Amino acid sequence: MSEQHTRAFGFEGTWREYAPIALTNLLLIIVTLGIYRFWATTRTRKYLWSRTRFIDERLEWTGTPIELLIGFLIVLVLFGIPLFFINFGMQAMVLQGQAALAGILGLLAFSMIFYLYGVARLRMLRYRLSRTWWHGIRGGSDTKGWAYGWSYVWRSILGWMSLGLLVPWSMTSLWNDRWNAMSFGSHSFQSAAMPGQIFRRFLLFYLLPFILFIAILIAGFMGGGMLMTMGQMDPQTGPTPAFILFAFVLVMLIYGLIGLVALAFYAKFFRVAIGSLTLTTLEFEFNARTKDWVKLILGDIALVIGTLGVGYMFLSYRHWKFFITHLDAAGEISLSALTQSTTAEPGQGEGLADAFDMGAI
């Protein structure tokens, strides 16, 4: 199938069309004390996938709420309950004067959670691809994720032990490993994101706190006397309300600037990571820049605050639309050569990812 002049991906839903689904989901989640959320997630995905076009055909979500429920229960029994008792065991050890042993047990528990978080990232992607259909073809992977969990642990630790300078390498290599383990139909994904492509943006984020700290020290030495002269600082009674307000605004500006630079790095990473992804002759692209992410986040905040929290149910719609709107692909794909995937279909949903509240949808 040759590339069309229009974008390969398109989203054809509307918030008015989605509103009855979101509001019904909210009501039923409240009435059932949260149990309905597995059904709510499935309804949301079915709608969003069915309004997403790739070339000439809309996607289809085939997952079920029972799969999500089973995945949640498995994680609860195998990991949630044991960690609950480990927490009580640690408290008992501390009360008995065995703080060192409690610390070791806590470290082991944290290590288990860290490892499972890595496993969850791969298994979430594997499950979602296996339930995404296009022209009757699905994706998937035969990789279970257990080995990837260990890679996630040691690469993350190495990234931060190098004073954080290897974080770009850790992020890109883990992204590559996840996607290189995936396939769609008979074709495997290939990802070759390089850390050098995002290192300069990361370095700006990395050095900004030090630059701001030095700038504040210099400003403090040079402007301290001026503040007292202006009445902002009284040497006898301490800070005045005006000085406290000034300090608060300054801190908010600093946090805002650091957050903006972090968002700029994340936007660059996402463009590079998706831009490195291929499927047979298809090459993917993601063109959302920092300003687009800022608009998305500010819109989310305004929506949730302006609706007193009700708008939270529309965030999944907004995030999916944002993702699809900025996603594109170029190249050719032959339907006659695209055969059904032979990868195993997971029998349950992304319980681990759900436990870690991972993913936009």
Q: What is the pLDDT along the chain (361 residues), one digit of tens a residue?
A: 444 457 899 999 999 999 999 999 999 999 999 999 999 999 999 999 999 999 889 999 999 999 888 888 888 887 777 877 888 788 888 888 888 888 888 888 888 889 988 998 999 999 999 999 999 999 999 998 899 999 999 999 999 999 999 999 999 999 999 999 999 998 999 999 999 999 999 999 999 988 888 887 777 666 555 555 544 555 556 566 766 777 778 788 888 899 999 999 999 999 999 999 999 889 999 999 999 999 999 999 999 999 999 999 999 999 999 999 999 999 887 777 778 788 877 766 665 565 454 554 4
pLDDT of 105 reads 84
pLDDT of 347 reads 67
pLDDT of 218 reads 79
Residue 340 lies in a domain: yes
pLDDT of 237 reads 60
**Burial zone of 323 (CB within 10 Å; 0-12 exposed, 13-18 middle, 19+ buried):** buried
Residue 323 lies in a domain: yes
Q: Quick one: CA dihedral 35, 37, 40, 45, positive or negative?
A: negative
Residue 42 lies in a domain: yes
Q: Quick one: CA dihedral 202, 203, 204, 206, positive or negative?
A: positive
Radius of gyration of the CA atoms of the chain, in A: 24
* Number of C-beta neighbours around residue 118 at 10 A: 24
**Domain region containing 279:** 9-203+252-355
Residue 65 lies in a domain: yes
Residue 222 lies in a domain: no
Residue 166 lies in a domain: yes
Residue 145 lies in a domain: yes
Domain count, the chain: 1
Residue 112 lies in a domain: yes
pLDDT of 95 reads 80
User: CA–CA distance from 230 to each of 93, 119, 223, 225, 226 (Å)?
Assistant: 56, 57, 10, 9, 6
pLDDT of 214 reads 87
pLDDT of 360 reads 45
Take residue 280 and report the two structure tokens written for it: 């047979």
